[in-house]
């Protein structure tokens, strides 16, 4: 999974400008994030046409606030720079719930 810090320009428009992107907001201290993190490689493998970008909520607190990310882990999906869906709350998320979220997105081909 890519890290937001890997992008030369770390602004939202640059990261989400092309194709399908899902931002995965997490933090090192978050138990629910640690719970789902081992499942993320399998989820990524199931959706090879989506770029997954891990965003450390503490490192990018301003971005999290701008997007209204109050609970983690949370997911915000984009296609060609436009938000197409979000799975944002403070609850623990299962692999199946994340897959259901992705499958229900309004991505166009």
Calpha distance 80→11 (Å, rounded)? 14
Catalytic residue positions? 30, 33
Distance CA 106, CA 88 (A): 16
CA distance 7 to 15: 7
């Amino acid at each position: 999974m890519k890290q937001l810090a890997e992008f030369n320009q770390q602004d939202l428009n640059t990261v989400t400008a092309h194709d399908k992107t899902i931002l995965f907001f997490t933090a090192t201290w978050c138990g629910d994030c640690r719970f789902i993190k081992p499942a993320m490689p399998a989820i990524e493998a199931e959706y090879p046409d989506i770029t997954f970008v891990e965003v450390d909520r503490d490192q990018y607190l301003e971005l999290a606030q701008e997007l209204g990310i109050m609970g983690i882990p949370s997911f915000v999906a984009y296609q060609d720079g436009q938000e197409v869906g979000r799975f944002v709350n403070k609850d623990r998320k299962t692999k199946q719930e994340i897959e259901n979220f992705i499958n229900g997105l309004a991505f166009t081909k």
